Amino acid sequence: MKKTIITILLLFILIIVILLHLNVEDENPNDKTIKNSISELPSETISKPPLESEFIPTLLPTPTPATHNIKPDFSNVIFIGDSITFGFINAHNTPVEKDHVYAKIGAHVFEGSKLLGDNSKMITDRCNGSVDYVFLMFGANDYGYNMNAYKNWYKELIKYIKQMFPNSKIVIQSVMPMNSTAKEPNRNQEPQKLNYIIKAVAIEEDVQFMDVSKFIPNAKKMLLEDGLHFKPELYPLWITAIVNSFN
């Protein structure tokens, strides 16, 4: 009787050993690899947020031949902007006529549509029947505002212009350099922030972006004492940059 019980116990133990052995062999070798890989991961695996520079668009709309070139007298072009653009009126050394400049000292981008008005026929007549190019520049009075608001205002202005002049080539120009002041020690950094937004708007609205400063590398030397506005000598260089870019 005792021998029978011992035999049964030994058989039971043998069965358990066999089952355990089979379970180990069935384990997927890849599972071991995965487990080992996980254990080797560094403790900090959460990536840092990308730097702002990593978001800067790299594929901007490039200049494409327009239906018409810019005329030598700029009669098929209009400018919309703030006091920097208003400088064309006071410069007296460019072919740009006053009635082709829709700008105001102290203007913000959200005022762009008001500056332009709603009489597209009158503006077209001033351009001898064809508004082929619309150049925009806002930012001298917009830094310090919420950048999302600045972006949305610019997009709304562009949509408004597209409705008025559906066949025109719209060009957003970069914000010009600024100098810092005692009251605004970081103002010289504002154009870079604004231009980052402008580039994004150009891509999203499928319009042209023009980096004016790229064509006038010494623009900062032509700033007035206020560090914001420019001497008249800048404006002929600006015109030359436009002609070289689009004709």
* Residue predicted with more confidence, 5 or 140: 140
What is the enclosing helix (H) or strand (E) of 15? helix 2-26
Residue 42 pLDDT level (bands cut at 50, 70, 90): very low
**For residue 230, pLDDT beyond 90:** yes
Q: What pLDDT score does 235 carry?
A: 97
- Whether 124 has a pLDDT exceeding 50, the answer reads yes
> Where does residue 61 fall: left (phi above 0), alpha (psi -120 to 50 degrees), or beta otherwise?
beta
Domain 61-246 superfamily per CATH: SGNH hydrolase (3.40.50.1110)
Q: For residue 127, what are its two tokens?
A: 């351009």
CA-closest candidate to residue 178, choices 138, 142, 220, 235: 220
One-letter amino acid for residue 2 of the chain: K
Residue 101 has what pLDDT?
A: 97
| Percent of the chain at pLDDT exceeding 70 | 74
pLDDT band per the 50, 70, 90 thresholds, residue 68: confident
**What is residue 49's predicted lDDT score, i.e. its pLDDT?**
34
70 exposure class (CB count in 10 Å sphere: 0-12, 13-18, 19+): buried
Sign of the CA dihedral running 222, 227, 231, 234 = positive
Nearest to 199 by CA among 37, 88, 60, 91: 60
pLDDT in the model for residue 197: 96
Query: CB-based contacts of 140: which residues, under 8 Å, 6+ apart?
Result: 82, 83, 84, 175, 176, 178, 228, 229
Q: How confident is the model at residue 53 (pLDDT cuts 50, 70, 90)?
A: very low
**pLDDT at position 67, please?**
59
Please indicate whether residue 96 or residue 61 has the higher confidence score (pLDDT): 96
Is residue 220 within 8 A of residue 179, CB to CB? The reply is yes
Closest CA to 145 of 194, 209, 86: 194
152: left (phi over 0), alpha (psi -120 to 50) or beta: alpha
Average pLDDT over residues 28-49: 37
pLDDT tens string 148-194: 999 999 999 999 999 999 999 999 999 999 999 999 999 999 999 99
Measured in whole angstroms, the distance separating CA 222 from the mean position of its chain's CA atoms is 26
> What is the secondary structure of 163-222 as a DSSP string?
HH-TTSEEEEEPPPP----SS-TTGGGHHHHHHHHHHHHHHHHT-EEE-HHHH-TTGGGG
**Residue 162 DSSP SS3:** helix
Residue 227 structure tokens: 């560090």
Express as a percent the part of the chain with pLDDT over 90. 68
Q: Looking at residues 24-33, what average pLDDT do you find?
A: 44
Is residue 73's pLDDT more than 50? yes
Through-space distance between the first and last CA atoms of the chain, rounded to whole angstroms: 111
